[in-house]
Amino acid sequence: MNNNIVGMETNMEQLLEKILSVQSRSDGVNTSLFEKREHIEKLHRTRNLLRKVQFIYDLPARLGKCIKTEAYADAVRFYTGAMPIFKVYGDSSFQDCKRASEEAIAIVLKNLQEKLFSDSESIQTRAEAAVLLKQLDFPVDSLKAKLLEKLEQSTLDLQLNAEDLSSALVIGSSKDGNVSESVYGASHEGSVREFAEAIRAYRVIFADSDRQLIKLAQDLVTKHFNAIEQFIKKQICAADLLRVFGIIWTDVLLLGEVLNDAGLPDYSLKAAQVAVKQYVTCMFSRLLQDISDALAQVHTRKKEEGVQEYSLQLALEASKKAVLQGSMDVLLDFRQLLEDQSGLTISQRDSIVDWVQEGFQDFFRALVDRFMLLSGKNSSYSQSQVLPEATQAEKVVAGLVLVLAQISVFIEQTAIPRITEEIAASFSGGGTRGYEYGPAFVPAEICRMFRAAGEKFLHLYINMRSQRISVLLTKRFRTPNWVKHKEPREVHMFVDLFLQELEAIGSEVKQILPQGTRKHRRTDSNGSTTSSRSNPLREEKLNRSNTQRARSQLLETHLAKLFKQKIEIFTRVEFTQGSVVTTAVKLSLKTLLEFIRLQTFNRSGFQQVQLDMQFLRTPLKEIADDEAAIDFLLDEVIVAASERCLDAIPLEPPILDKLIKAKLAKAKDQNPMSP
């Protein structure tokens, strides 16, 4: 245009003429079609109006069909669509239609309310009914509490039940039970999905209901873990516990999808931590009870021939198995918890390790206390506590105390090292326990506890058995009048009873304790115990004897004693048959010696004591290991009787031999099977 504008003005004028011509023709067309267009639009509006009128007239029939087919969502949609017309013309042109429609919608409202509060309807159906009621401007907010109550009631059907879980898992552990177990889990999961959808619908209806719904979901999870608490008490295994954890974790994930702010995973992890700790505690309590039940066989043994002798060995073997195999089974069970990778246990490994180590430490402490209770002692026990002299409770069996002594040795020497090795291999680490508390599991401390307990039980057994013999000796030496005693004609029957008590001790220790190899002879003994026979006062009394022979015999005894090697009477008791029996014999003879020193004898009484002690010399040497101490104590008894005798004239050796042989012959006649 800048270079050449020649002829442009003419072209512009031609363009303007053409535009004006087009505009003129367009105005002409519009003018000619105006009346027709208005008529078409009017017809179109009339058509739409007729359709609406027809819809209004057909609405009662439509609503009736929806009611018959229970298509309540369509009924609500139709009715809400007609509401604007009814508001304008409902009181005039469409009065009959409005009344018929309201009657029909009243039936819909009634049916929806019935569905909302019907226990037979699903949660999803009741939630949909609430949404439709809200669309009909029904005061749904007034139903909020009732609907929430329905949701709370539905949780009762969803919560896990210990009995149902036990039944499902027992079936699931059989050959073809996996199907039943999966059916139970699938059925429960389907119910939880339905419940989650109901919560989702509830949140849509009531936007401000998150707090109540979160609490409802947390209560459901809490009920799950309450059921687990009861389930754990039914002696379940770790595999069963993990299956239930899997069911709960699935529920948590489903509910978490509709309640993101509820924090259900964290809430469940804390509850699962409590449940696992309770499970570990229950397993140790069960193990403690199993050991107690094994030891209880000593109390329930029968008095039939042969059964009593076998019962101690049976109780000991059962107790050993309960301690060692039971502990290994518990560790194997706990290992499954460590190896599980599910949502509720994967983050608890360090805690489980600490709980297992602490559990074993507390378990063995409790086991020592339980042993004390079974032995008749107070449960409050410390290593520095010294057991008093035996005061046997009537219900405590002496054999049980012997079993407790040997099982304590077994725990110290075998069980603790084996358990320690297994813990080091599979349960090392931890870390949740504070370092200021020290290590959770201290094998050395446990070994010291059971070593001390075993020694105390062994001494207690000897004291309990010695007390029975003491009762026998009390009746023997306090009942007769020794000053008026008749001439001895045979070995007194108390000797048989005394030997029977010692044989009972030997029978029990043979079942429990090893035989041992050491035999104490006179040349083996040493110590500082001296005889009181060198007392000049006693020599003076013996010098007043009636016959020269008596004086000679007693003087020979005194002189021989002066040259005897000093003997140590009471040595350390070992866990062997010979050591226990020997200690019991020594205690019994020492008790007998004390009874002798409290009596006054005539010549016949002294001779009776001499005869009885001389008869005991051979069988006691066969029973006990320390022959030197037995000879020493028997000699002490005879000399003590002579000191307390008014006329200490001993029996002649031939007479002693004759009376002893007569007793042996009589015993052989009564028991031909004896050697």
Q: What is the pLDDT of residues 212-224, one digit of tens each?
A: 888 888 888 888 8
pLDDT at 541: 39
pLDDT at 408: 93
pLDDT at residue 531 tops 50: no
Distance CA 574, CA 538 (A): 37
Residues 212 and 326 both lie in one domain: no
Q: How far is CA 622 from CA 318, 522, 663, in A?
A: 32, 15, 17
pLDDT at 439: 67
Residue whose pair of structure tokens reads 């609907």 in the numeric block: 147
Looking at residues 36-48, what average pLDDT do you find?
71
Residues 317 and 417 both lie in one domain: yes
pLDDT at residue 232 tops 80: yes
pLDDT at residue 203 tops 50: yes
Number of domains in the chain: 4
Using pLDDT thresholds of 50, 70 and 90, give the confidence band for residue 330: very high
Of residues 265 and 567, which shows the higher confidence score? 265
pLDDT at 662: 87
Using pLDDT thresholds of 50, 70 and 90, give the confidence band for residue 45: confident
- The domain containing residue 495 runs over which residues? 480-514+559-670
Of residues 416 and 548, which shows the higher confidence score? 416
Alpha helices by DSSP H, 90-209: 95-117, 123-135, 144-158, 162-172, 178-205
Using pLDDT thresholds of 50, 70 and 90, give the confidence band for residue 417: very high
Using pLDDT thresholds of 50, 70 and 90, give the confidence band for residue 296: confident
Residues 252 and 334 both lie in one domain: no
Q: How far is CA 629 from CA 203, 404, 562, 621, in A?
A: 93, 29, 15, 10
pLDDT at 527: 37
Using pLDDT thresholds of 50, 70 and 90, give the confidence band for residue 283: very high
Residues 91 and 159 both lie in one domain: no
Spell out the residues 6+ positions from residue 537 whose beta carbon is closer than 8 angstroms to its own. Answer: none
pLDDT at residue 643 tops 70: yes
Question: Which of 196-205, 381-390, 548-557 is least confident?
Answer: 381-390
Residues 590 and 484 both lie in one domain: yes
Question: Which of 252-256, 326-330, 526-530, 661-665 is least confident?
Answer: 526-530
Residues 648 and 580 both lie in one domain: yes
The verdict on residue 565 lying in a domain is: yes
pLDDT at residue 555 tops 60: no
Distance CA 236, CA 283 (A): 9
Question: Which of 3-12, 621-630, 644-653 is least confident?
Answer: 3-12
Looking at residues 79-97, what average pLDDT do you find?
77
pLDDT at residue 409 tops 90: yes
Residues 210 and 282 both lie in one domain: no
Of 230, 260, 290, which marks where a domain is finished? 260
Distance CA 103, CA 636 (A): 120
Count the Cβ atoms, other than its own, within 10 Å of residue 474: 12
Side chain identity at 421, as an amino acid letter? E
Distance CA 492, CA 576 (A): 31
Residue 25: both structure tokens together:
């023709």
The verdict on residue 174 lying in a domain is: no
Residues 563 and 457 both lie in one domain: no
Looking at residues 340-359, what average pLDDT do you find?
85
Of residues 40 and 66, which shows the higher confidence score? 66
The verdict on residue 191 lying in a domain is: yes
| pLDDT tens digits, one per residue of 140-170 | 667 777 777 777 787 777 777 766 666 655 5
Alpha helices by DSSP H, 342-415: 349-374, 398-410
Residues 125 and 143 both lie in one domain: no
Percent of the residues in the chain that have a pLDDT greater than 90, as a whole number: 19
Spell out the residues 6+ positions from residue 631 whose beta carbon is closer than 8 angstroms to its own. Answer: 522, 617, 621
The verdict on residue 30 lying in a domain is: no
pTM for the full predicted model: 0.70
Distance CA 660, CA 633 (A): 20
Residues 143 and 131 both lie in one domain: no
pLDDT at residue 670 tops 90: no
Distance CA 538, CA 326 (A): 63
Looking at residues 482-497, what average pLDDT do you find?
89
Element (H, E) at 24: helix 8-69
| pLDDT tens digits, one per residue of 418-471 | 999 999 888 877 666 555 455 678 899 999 999 999 999 999 999 998 999 999
pLDDT at residue 521 tops 60: no
Residues 497 and 619 both lie in one domain: yes
Residues 509 and 614 both lie in one domain: yes
Q: How far is CA 166 from CA 72, 422, 651, in A?
A: 43, 30, 80
Looking at residues 555-560, what average pLDDT do you find?
51
Looking at residues 334-352, what average pLDDT do you find?
84
Distance CA 386, CA 190 (A): 64
Q: Is the Cα torsion angle 68, 69, 70, 74 positive or negative in sign? A: negative
Q: Mean pLDDT for the chain?
A: 78
